[in-house]
């Protein structure tokens, strides 16, 4: 499973690629649109940003997968938004938008999971690596 250091390094490389190319490279990763998610740290109360991909979008709702590569623990960004669902999202390099995050219900997950793994089978592999059910998070515009 990826270490915290590895995940932070991958995010740093992603951000550097976006910066060095003026955003020409990095807003699509593994045939998925990329986004920057800013949460409020559950312990620090400070803004925390992470680069993620979205395998599914439905209307104005963006779906992200809290997989952490199949690790048995949830990613920190997921724990942050679970405690404080008010987030900011810069989707494909657009302006930051206030959004509300929520974990997909079991019915929503049952409908969305096949869509997620249809084109991105590694998410199914991640699910086999862990006993926790990998959450799908729905990011929805506020007002």
User: What are the structural domains of the chain?
Assistant: 4-141 (2.30.110.10)
For the cut 60, the answer to whether the pLDDT of residue 66 exceeds it is yes
Question: Distance (Å, rounded) from C-alpha 26 to C-alpha 93?
Answer: 9
- Measuring CA to CA, how many Å separate 74 from each of 84, 130, 133, 143? 15, 11, 10, 29
Question: What pLDDT is recorded for position 47?
Answer: 97
Question: What pLDDT is recorded for position 92?
Answer: 84
Question: Distance (Å, rounded) from C-alpha 91 to C-alpha 94?
Answer: 5
pTM, full prediction: 0.86
* Burial category of 129 from C-beta neighbours within 10 Å (exposed 0-12, middle 13-18, buried 19 and up): middle
Would you call 32 helix, strand, or coil by DSSP? strand
For the cut 90, the answer to whether the pLDDT of residue 125 exceeds it is yes
Question: Distance (Å, rounded) from C-alpha 99 to C-alpha 89?
Answer: 7
Q: Which of 61-65, 90-94, 95-99 has the lowest mean pLDDT?
A: 90-94
């Amino acid at each position: 499973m990826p270490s915290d250091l590895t995940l932070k390094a991958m995010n740093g490389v992603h951000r550097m690629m976006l910066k060095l190319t003026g955003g020409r490279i990095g807003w699509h990763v593994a045939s998925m649109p990329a986004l920057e998610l800013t949460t409020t740290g559950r312990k620090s109360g400070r803004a925390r940003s992470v680069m993620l991909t979205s395998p599914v979008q439905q209307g104005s709702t963006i779906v992200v997968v809290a997989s952490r590569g199949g690790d048995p623990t949830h990613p920190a960004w997921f724990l942050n938004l679970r405690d404080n669902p008010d987030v900011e999202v810069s989707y494909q390099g657009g302006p930051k938008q206030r959004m509300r995050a929520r974990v997909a219900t079991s019915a929503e997950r049952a409908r969305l999971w096949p869509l997620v793994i249809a084109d991105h089978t590694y998410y199914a592999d991640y699910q086999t690596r862990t006993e926790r059910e990998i959450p799908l998070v729905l990011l929805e515009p506020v007002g």
